[in-house]
Amino acid sequence: EPEVTQTPSHQVTQMGQEVILRCVPISNHLYFYWYRQILGQKVEFLVSFYNNEISEKSEIFDDQFSVERPDGSNFTLKIRSTKLEDSAMYFCASNLGGGQFFGPGTRLTVL
């Protein structure tokens, strides 16, 4: 069964460093998303991506964040200068319409 994959599973970084979180969505899906879940809080929408451009983004997704689909399979989230409060689980999701399918997540720890 096709699934969304994410790498790495855990990323530890120093405050102020850049990180890139990687996702491989399900191959025939057209819509791509990033969400995050801070420990003990809700899963929050960050950004959606369709047709090689951002469709929608939340208030969380400020200038420190960017997304890219560099080739036909990968979908990346970059945080330019990480802050302590960026520590969270980051989930990638994709769909054709209907239910979104989530990856296993990347745990980002900012020290």
Backbone angles phi, psi at 86, to 5 degrees: -80, -10
Q: Which of residues 15-44 bind another protein (CB under 8 A)?
A: 31, 33, 35, 41-44
CA distance 62 to 93: 20
Least Å distance between CB 101 and another protein? Answer: 6
Scanning residues 56 to 75, which ones bind another protein (CB under 8 A)?
56, 58
CB 80 within 8 A of CB 66: yes
Which of 77, 100, 108, 110: binder of another protein (CB under 8 A)?
A: 100
Minimum Å distance from CB 16 to another protein?
27
Contacts of 98 (CB under 8 A, 6+ apart): none
Q: How far is the CB of 56 from another protein (least distance, A)?
A: 4
Residues 8 and 42: their CA atoms lie apart, in Å, by 22
Cβ partners under 8 Å of residue 8, min gap 6: 22, 106
User: Any contact of residue 103 with another protein (CB under 8 A)?
Assistant: yes
Per CB under 8 A, residues contacting another protein are: 4, 6, 31, 33, 35, 41-45, 48, 50, 55-56, 58, 91, 93, 95, 97-105
